[in-house]
Structure 1
Amino acid sequence: MTDIRIRDIAPRLAGQAHPIGTDDKIRLIDAMTDAGVPAIEVSSFVRPDLIPGLADAAEVFRRIKRSPDVSLECCVGNERGLQRAIDAGVDAAWFLLSADEDFARQNIGRSTEESLLELERMQKLASSAAITLGTYIIFAWGGPTSPPRRASDLAHLSRRLREIGVREWILADSSGYASPTDARELVTFAINELGGSEKITVQIHDGRGMGLANVAELVGLGITRIDTALAGSGGHPAMRGTPGAGVCTEDVVQLLHLEGYTTGIDLPQLISAANWFADTLDVPSKGFVRHAGPVPVDSATSRSAEFEWRTA
């Protein structure tokens, strides 16, 4: 069986869009750790006046459980944020690089090229610290101010990132534009650019209902790192009124398990965490499996066994 690494981004996505207390964030992240989620995007080290809901990032990192089996990660926007992440003991930090020029200028405060220069400086700092630095490419498939984007539109970004030496990428469908065909085209381009799929994470957003179809397409291409959001929660404060939630973690985990992939995640325990998160904290959420219940275990087990036998 192929192991798929799920990275849950709900703590950061929901924390930046909805009021969630520090204690509840810690409970949420610890519940994900207990359920076996192998990577969690805990928060962002960004200016608190811009994203006040994530101003407690350092405290959250200080108080959450630490497990050698779980990578605790964050977003950063500049060198100062990266230093704060290093001080907090973060395992991996992801730079917020926008493929949409208008969004970059209006919400990040600098052009995409200026962001690349900042990332180049940050790469030098990261190389001397015990932290992995990668980059998001947000709006990789287009939006919020641009039309759908083709793979060729990212050729310049790809070349510059390889020049800088940043070879860990998160391709984010931030506006939910990608169909399976679109997802396959851009991800195939990225695989060719990096010489393989092992450094590529794809962040699926489900604002337009294509999330699970895209996950199935991507794992078929050999992508083994997928970003999801517990209970399909989250959003961006600069994109009110537009779809921004990540594809639902528990729905993705069920799909993968039924298709014969492994995740290391306890699905019933994950569903319990999702129900607590959505219902107790009243966070806007999506998803099917937490309402309908998972497919019975015997069915999932037999499908997985059949898959294992066929591929042995």
Structure 2
Amino acid sequence: MKVASPEPASLPAEVTIWEVGARDGLQNEKEIVPLEVKLEFLRRLADAGLVVLEATSFVHPKWVPQLADATELLAELDQAPGARYPVLVPNARGLDRALESKVRDIAIFASATETFAQRNLNSDLDGQFGMFEPVVSRAVGEDIAVRGYLSMCFGDPWEGPVPVEQVVAAGKRLLEMGCFQLSLGDTIGVATPGHVEALLRAFVAAGVGVDKLAVHFHDTYGQALANTYTALRHGVSTVDSSAGGLGGCPYAKSATGNLATEDLVWMLEGLGIEHGVDLGALVETSRWMAEKLGRPSPSAVVKAMG
């Protein structure tokens, strides 16, 4: 049976762009990006109108040396009025460092699969929640907003396709322990629109409203925008993206760049969805960062407007 196209009214009127370029975008760089470049990158992104800017991570420098300057960055960061600057916190020590830096927004990073939990968190699928529970509880007690990232929601390079019910069960545990939002990550970029729809429907059927969900797509197979549009059709109104399409995952070598923020903004404008970003200023920012990194941006919109 042919399904009718969705009416524009089925799309959200406004989307929050969760910009991850400064953290997820830079964590996989081969060369260390200087602190002053990171600070300027964040300033330019804020000037372009982005209001949620994931700034850095308190992961141990041994594992992510590109973000070893997290404390210094936060100390020198000139935060734009009204903007939020979340940081990734992996454990209790990371939360200590975040509190010392007076951070008010954190994110934790969990896995939907056993193998990635072992490789990324040195835990197992069930044990990771025991590690996160005291972190979330303490943060919430300090009136800090906690976001939950769930990786490998659609496919795992070691385990293959991930059962929908397994993803829903893991995601619900993060929300139940106190995360205000759950970001569903397509870490290796294998999702397709039908899979996205099935997962979102499963979360709703399990009692999780789409207002609690965000999406985080990688563009390995060129599906990130199509997947995002599917999520928007189902009511998701927070989308993760990275300026210029920067990023990957240091623990999953098949993970390529994130959905480019410019490509997302172009689509949102075409759909008449409010987003608050100056596309021209954002493109200029990504061009500038591409020059600093010594390679062209993979963003289609950055290329087209070049």
Q: 1-side partners of 2:55 and 2:238: how far apart?
A: 17
**Counterpart residue number, 2:108:** 95
**Counterpart residue number, 1:226:** 239
**Counterpart residue number, 1:157:** 170
Q: 2-side partners of 1:103 and 1:166: how far apart?
A: 21
Per-residue deviation, residues 7-59 of structure 1 (Å, max 9, x unmatched)? 11111123211121111111111110000112111111111111111111111
The answer to whether structure 1 residue 42 and structure 2 residue 59 are counterparts is: no
- The code of the aligned residue for 1:83 comes to D
- The alpha-carbon deviation at position 236 of structure 1 amounts to 1.8
**Counterpart residue number, 2:145:** 132
Bigger shift: 264-273 or 125-134?
A: 125-134
**Counterpart residue number, 1:216:** 229
3-state SS of the aligned residue for 1:11? coil
Contact 2:245 2:259 in 1 (8 A): yes
Contact 2:140 2:178 in 1 (8 A): no
**Counterpart residue number, 1:263:** 275
- The code of the aligned residue for 1:271 comes to V
- The code of the aligned residue for 1:227 comes to D
Moved over 4 A (4+): none
3-state SS of the aligned residue for 2:157? coil
Q: 1-side partners of 2:205 and 2:100: how far apart?
A: 35
Q: 2-side partners of 1:151 and 1:189: how far apart?
A: 7
The answer to whether structure 1 residue 28 and structure 2 residue 38 are counterparts is: no
Bigger shift: 163-172 or 20-29?
A: 163-172
Q: 2-side partners of 1:176 and 1:253: how far apart?
A: 20
**Counterpart residue number, 1:281:** 293
Q: 1:144 aligns with which of 157, 176, 192?
A: 157
- The code of the aligned residue for 1:202 comes to V
Unpaired runs of 5+ residues, structure 1, are 295-312
3-state SS of the aligned residue for 2:85? strand
Q: 2-side partners of 1:287 and 1:159: how far apart?
A: 33
Q: 1:292 aligns with which of 271, 294, 304?
A: 304
The answer to whether structure 1 residue 110 and structure 2 residue 123 are counterparts is: yes
Per-residue deviation, residues 54-83 of structure 1 (Å, max 9, x unmatched)? 111111112222123211011111011112
3-state SS of the aligned residue for 1:136? strand
Q: 2-side partners of 1:224 and 1:108: how far apart?
A: 29
- The alpha-carbon deviation at position 269 of structure 1 amounts to 0.4
Q: 2-side partners of 1:280 and 1:224: how far apart?
A: 32
Bigger shift: 149-158 or 113-122?
A: 149-158
Bigger shift: 20-29 or 283-292?
A: 283-292
Contact 1:150 1:186 in 2 (8 A): no
Superposed CA RMSD in Å reads 1.8
- The alpha-carbon deviation at position 121 of structure 1 amounts to 0.8
Per-residue deviation, residues 140-184 of structure 1 (Å, max 9, x unmatched)? 112121212232222431443354343421111101011011111
3-state SS of the aligned residue for 1:17? coil
The answer to whether structure 1 residue 13 and structure 2 residue 24 are counterparts is: yes
Q: 1:65 aligns with which of 78, 86, 96?
A: 78
- The code of the aligned residue for 1:279 comes to E
Contact 2:119 2:251 in 1 (8 A): no
Contact 1:207 1:245 in 2 (8 A): yes
**Counterpart residue number, 2:202:** 189
TM-score, structure 2 as length reference: 0.90
Q: 1:79 aligns with which of 82, 92, 95?
A: 92
3-state SS of the aligned residue for 1:50? coil
Contact 1:100 1:144 in 2 (8 A): no
Q: Which protein is richer in helix relative to its size?
A: 1
**Counterpart residue number, 2:258:** 246
Evaluate the alpha carbon distance shift between residue 281 and residue 163 of structure 1 in structure 2; reply closer, same or farther with a 3 A threshold.
closer
Bigger shift: 29-38 or 196-205?
A: 196-205
Per-residue deviation, residues 275-303 of structure 1 (Å, max 9, x unmatched)? 11112322564111112129xxxxxxxxx
Unpaired runs of 5+ residues, structure 2, are 1-11
**Counterpart residue number, 1:119:** 132
3-state SS of the aligned residue for 1:203? strand
Per-residue deviation, residues 238-297 of structure 1 (Å, max 9, x unmatched)? 233x23310110011011011100100011000100111112322564111112129xxx
The percent of aligned pairs where both chains have the same amino acid is 28
